[in-house]
Amino acid sequence: MSDSMSAEIGALAQSSSDTEQKQFIASNIPSSETPNDGLYEVGHSLSNATLCDPTVRPDTASTTRSGMEDIESVTNRLLGLRGLPPGTLATLSEHEIKRLCAHVRPILLQQPMLLELEAPMQVCGDIHGQFPDLLRLFQLGGYPPESNYLFLGDYVDRGKQSIETICLLLAYKVLYPDHVFLLRGNHEHPGINRIYGFYDECKRRYSIKLWKSFSDVFNCLPVSAVIDDKIICMHGGLSPQLRSIKNIADIRRPCDVPTAGLMCDLLWSDPDDTVSGWRTSDRGVSFVFGTDVVQDFLREHDLDLIIRAHQVVEDGYEFFAGRGLVTLFSAPNYCGEFDNAGGMIAIADDLMCSFQILKPSPRPSCLPKQSQQQQTLIPPRNRFSFPILPFPA
């Protein structure tokens, strides 16, 4: 499918709340011709100054019992949208959301820029304001704190409910800071979400000041995570400046996204099987990299797998460089324009990975019957002695 501006920012239809899943064999993944997310973001400045809202200061939002009750109330109202017609908006006041932003900023800054996590972990790719699909992911993988989650960024823009999406994730981060982890995507930046829907949603439903409060939160998000020293995760991809994993930990926050360099690449770069080494990206920012780059990086850093998001893939996930890298996209029926599935990866204690798939919804949008949910187990690269078997229903 070819990308277009109308497909990126046009008809933003919501997916249904319950669709079937489809089983895929990890060793036989079809190549995807779905569009690169953000292809038309070229030419837009990434160097906007850091935005902050002085009306709600972090030091006035100490996590008291009363404050936690407020966050729990926000969470309960958001979860109360389950089962309601897609597109039903949450009843949250602007003050409540600003308080949520003030609560979460110091929590994010207390944790490192490079998260060091342990399995088990559920890993999710782009959500893009598709709130009903976020709820489906939690229904599939289990709600925090029973399940641990790592989200790879791009929570806002394009979908109709970016506010509900980011508020639920931030609320879970406050309530369960050691069970829910949020990485920054290229859309968690004012220079991008000013154009692709989030700014307009904040302005229409609340105010520009609220958008600035969210921008201040986005500047505090980490950009990468390593799971059990074997799996590295980020939103975009690798960087020619990534000489050592510790380079990521040295990036200081709060920070804006620069127009070039390590942090920019972690949020913007893409794999490309038509190139060898590095090449300037057609996006107009960052690079694309070949299979040789992935293989060399994994070998040099004693890693098994790279998990990244940032691109629409037809089946919800797609391998690159053998099984050295996997692209994960968790927003089915992206923008209401594409028939892609949404994917989530469950990483078990032994680092066995299973793909959990949200099938695209039938059209016209309706509420289909609940169906069996299936998974496919795959091992990381150095664990091929494990069998590849269907996950028991």
Active-site residue list: 187
Q: What is the DSSP letter of 189?
A: S
- By the 8 A CB rule, do 284 and 322 touch? no
> How many whole angstroms from its chain centre is CA 362?
24
Query: Quick check: helix, strand or coil at residue 203?
Result: helix
**What is the C-alpha separation between 139 and 146, in angstroms, rounded?**
12
Q: Which amino acid is at 378?
A: I
Q: Kindly list the strands in the beta sheet with 287-289, ordered across the sheet, starting from the edge strand earlier in the chain.
A: 270-271, 287-289, 278-280
What percent of the chain is helix, strand and coil (3-state, nearest 5)? 30, 15, 55
Task: Provide the sign of the torsion angle of the four alpha carbons 111, 114, 117, 123, taken in this order.
Answer: positive
How many angstroms separate the Cα of 95 from the Cα of each of 58, 78, 83, 212? 14, 16, 27, 13
Q: List CB contacts of 138: < 8 A, sequence separation 6 or more.
A: 144
Give the Å distances, CA to CA, from 292 to 133, 243, 283, 366. 35, 15, 21, 44
Q: Indicate the residue type of 108.
A: L
Token duo for residue 55 = 């009306």
Looking at residue 282, the DSSP 8-state letter turns out to be: T
Write down the residue that tokens 């998974």 correspond to. Answer: 375
- DSSP type of residue 330: -
Q: Give the Cα separation of 85 and 79 in Å (integer).
A: 13
Tokens of 33: 């011709």
Which among 283, 319, 282, 280 is positioned nearest to 32, based on CA atoms?
319
Two structure tokens written together for 7? 């497909």
